[in-house]
Amino acid sequence: MSENAKSEPLDPADVDPPVCESDRPPLAADARTEKVDALVAEATVIKRLDYDRLRNLAEEAFELACELDDSGQQYRYGMAAALELLAHLSGVLGDSEAALLQASQALALLDSHDPNGLLGNLYLTMGWAHYQAGDYVDALNELLNASQIAGLIEDTTLSAFVMDRIANVYHATGHPSAALDLQLRALAIFRESVNPAGEALVLNNMTYTYLDLDDFPSALGSARGALEYAEAQERVYMRMGVLDTLAEVYRRMGDLDNAAKYSAEGLDLARQHQSEPDKGDALLTMGRISLARGHLDEARTAAISALRLAEKHRRAIEEFTCHELLSEIEEARGDIAAALVHFKRFHELERVRLNEESESRLANLQVEHRVNTARKDAEIHRLRSLALEREVEERRIAQAQLEAQASLDALTGLYNRRHVSVLGDDLERELAQGRSASLILFDIDRFKEINDTHGHFAGDRVLVSIARLLRDNARDSDTPCRYGGDEFLVLLSNTDAEQTRIIAERVRLAIATNPVQYRGVSIPSTISVGIATVHPGAPMPLLGLIERADHALYAAKHAGRNCVVVDDL
């Protein structure tokens, strides 16, 4: 959901914003501060409800805050608070450049960066602006800053909004399961705190996650729930975005009549309210619908119009998607040369949007997020425990963080071979508690041929892709590692051989059916998998379990590759 900003961004080149000229006599410092704070508080209440009123209040607060009081001082904190509201509005309306400029200026005005709600909201706004621009690594980094602040000041509403935004990044970078987990947590917070606007926002975003998971009933239910709120509360801007979402659901379901109906309704609203980003979204969806119907000229016209709007507003994600759609349309029209031009541009933007380096940085940030979340949960437990337990838990968390950082594979974001000693302790603990454990060991079939044929950068892309699929298909309790080169292992707690085989088959199938796209070439890959299980009645060290799984892996290779073999000991 994005809408066009209607005002020019403030100039970030001014370290100290210019003094606002006014014919009014200087106000007393206390009176001015009180009035600015009241305007900011009123605007905050309607922050996600009334955009026009929000803009008026924020601009009035900013102008008043930057006037000189009777002591010759500006109210810098009030200026920053007003700019945060304007930056939020710019982000919601789809002007990511203005949002970043205003948020950066607000940060420069703050004398202290101690944790507080204003700082958390600024990081949230900057994260969303980076996301809209397609800068997913910077987006996640800013959002994690916001998440940390929300936890420190115990602001559950801010935490829920941050969770939803992080989920958008996860979804955009190919992690729908992780995205859905965060969205469900955010939804629960909004429902518990009776925040219907936040609930509707999450429901709209969850729709796309459900679509990527092929859960069409849930997608339809989420979109309808968001639309009901937008219509009941007369939230016209939200309604535009949700109408486009609903049109996409029906398109994916094959119901092109309903898809066209909702897309046309959204386009009419966007034109009526002069929201060019929403107009671009609707045109893009209409282009997809026309392509599905075989109306190629209509599809091309809509897609080109959407591309022009995406380029005008520097909406990187939409620009990337428009070139992909135009490539498909031109190919269907038989204009292979034009299709190739758009296809090349699509892949150029894809490399900028998510290259090997950003894949690695995203993976590291995601691990950092999981560690920080675990630390926060442990801290809650720590505060409820006795003094001795608090000390032990704090040291355990600190040690876990050090181990996580030292044992992280820079390319894939998985744990590396150094983490094996920790896994050995985990295995001993499982067996001591009377539970079985299993180990999956696999490597990539003919990985050397991939490197020799396509180059080592392509090989790295394959490794990153397989690591992502491994994370997405493993359980939360499992521990995936890059064991070395193209070899990966997963230790599964409280799991027998048959359960492990089912999990391994799911991973194998996901990899076999998701070839990696690199520089216009589709690179297929498969894995050979070995499984070994150990029971409390016959314990063995982790290295012994790895050796057994390695024998099974060897057997899988001799069985023709791309298969799972269970050790029969």
User: Is pLDDT above 70 for 364?
Assistant: no
Q: What is the pTM of this model?
A: 0.57
CB 42 within 8 A of CB 57: yes
More confident residue, 463 or 174: 463
Rounded to the nearest 10°, the torsion over CA 249, 252, 257, 262 is: 30
Q: How confident is the model at residue 170 (pLDDT cuts 50, 70, 90)?
A: confident
Range with the lowest mean pLDDT among 23-27, 242-246, 510-514? 23-27
6-20, 63-77, 293-307, 373-387: range with highest mean pLDDT: 293-307
Q: What is the pLDDT of residue 391?
A: 53
Range with the lowest mean pLDDT among 199-213, 254-268, 390-404, 430-444? 390-404
Close Cβ partners of 124 (under 8 Å, ≥ 6 residues apart): 142, 143, 146, 158, 161, 162, 165
Tell me the pLDDT tens digit for each residue of 481-492. Answer: 999 889 999 999
User: Is pLDDT above 50 for 1?
Assistant: no
Range with the lowest mean pLDDT among 5-14, 395-404, 433-442? 5-14
Mean pLDDT of 75-96: 86
> Distance between alpha carbon 88 and the CA centroid of its chain, in Å?
18
Tell me the pLDDT tens digit for each residue of 175-208. Answer: 888 889 989 999 999 999 988 888 999 999 999 9
Looking at the DSSP assignment, which residues form a beta bridge with residue 415?
A: 408, 481
User: Is pLDDT above 60 for 565?
Assistant: yes
Q: Which two tokens stand for residue 551?
A: 């024998």
Range with the lowest mean pLDDT among 40-49, 138-147, 248-257, 458-467? 40-49
Q: What is the pLDDT of residue 247?
A: 94
Distance CA 5, CA 568 (A): 65
Q: What is the pLDDT of residue 8?
A: 30
Average pLDDT of the residues of the chain: 82
Q: How confident is the model at residue 218 (pLDDT cuts 50, 70, 90)?
A: very high
Q: What is the pLDDT of residue 230?
A: 87
Q: Which two tokens stand for residue 23?
A: 């014919």
Looking at the DSSP assignment, which residues form a beta bridge with residue 531?
A: 440, 566
Q: How confident is the model at residue 29 (pLDDT cuts 50, 70, 90)?
A: low
Q: What is the pLDDT of residue 47?
A: 75
The one-letter code for the residue type at 40 is V
Distance CA 1, CA 9 (A): 20
Residue by residue, DSSP assigns 151-175 as HHTT-HHHHHHHHHHHHHHHHHTT-
Distance CA 310, CA 318 (A): 6
Distance CA 378, CA 396 (A): 10
Phi, psi of 191 (to 5 degrees): -70, -40
Rounded to the nearest 10°, the torsion over CA 452, 454, 460, 466 is: -100
Q: How confident is the model at residue 561 (pLDDT cuts 50, 70, 90)?
A: very high
- Residues of the chain with pLDDT > 70, as a percent, come to 84
User: Is pLDDT above 70 for 399?
Assistant: no
Q: How confident is the model at residue 166 (pLDDT cuts 50, 70, 90)?
A: very high
More confident residue, 432 or 401: 432
Range with the lowest mean pLDDT among 115-124, 339-348, 537-546? 339-348
3-state secondary structure of 492: strand
Residue given tokens 């119901």 in the structure block: 255
3-state secondary structure of 483: strand
CB 161 within 8 A of CB 123: no
Class of 419-566 in CATH: alpha beta
Q: How confident is the model at residue 70 (pLDDT cuts 50, 70, 90)?
A: confident
**In the chain, ranges of CATH 3.30.70.270 domains:** 419-566
The one-letter code for the residue type at 280 is G
